[in-house]
């Protein structure tokens, strides 16, 4: 049910440690999203039309090609020009929920 242990598979298995990992991943993804939007003109239009090729290229060039060569903190600096910045995630949330 929506209110109990079935709302998320991790509740029923006692794996509560995953929730902070999801939060950190969301913070990283917001920062990558804004960096990508700066680099890819008309990204919103591409997504609306189902064209993800430029996004895939950006991810391959700026993140995926490094594999495990660098830590997450190092990769975010490489692809976004600064370390992990929670203010960017707050901006993302404000834009998403106040439109």
Give CA–CA dist 8/89, Å, rounded.
23
Give CA–CA dist 99/95, Å, rounded.
6
**pLDDT over 70 (residue 1):** no
pTM for the complete prediction? 0.79
**pLDDT over 80 (residue 60):** yes
Domain ranges, ordered by start, for the chain: 25-98
Q: What is the pLDDT of residues 20-56, one digit of tens each?
A: 888 999 999 999 999 999 999 999 999 999 999 999 9
Residue 55: partners with Cβ closer than 8 Å, 6 or more residues away = 36, 40, 43, 46, 47
């Amino acid at each position: 049910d929506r209110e109990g242990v079935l709302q998320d598979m991790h509740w029923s298995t006692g794996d509560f440690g995953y929730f902070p990992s999801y939060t950190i991943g969301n913070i990283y993804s917001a920062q990558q999203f804004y960096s990508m939007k700066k680099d890819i003109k008309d990204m919103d239009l591409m997504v609306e039309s189902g064209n993800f090729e430029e996004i895939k290229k950006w991810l391959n060039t700026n993140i995926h090609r490094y594999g495990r060569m660098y830590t997450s903190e190092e990769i975010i600096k490489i692809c976004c020009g600064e370390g992990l910045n929670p203010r960017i995630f707050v901006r993302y949330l404000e834009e998403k929920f106040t439109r």
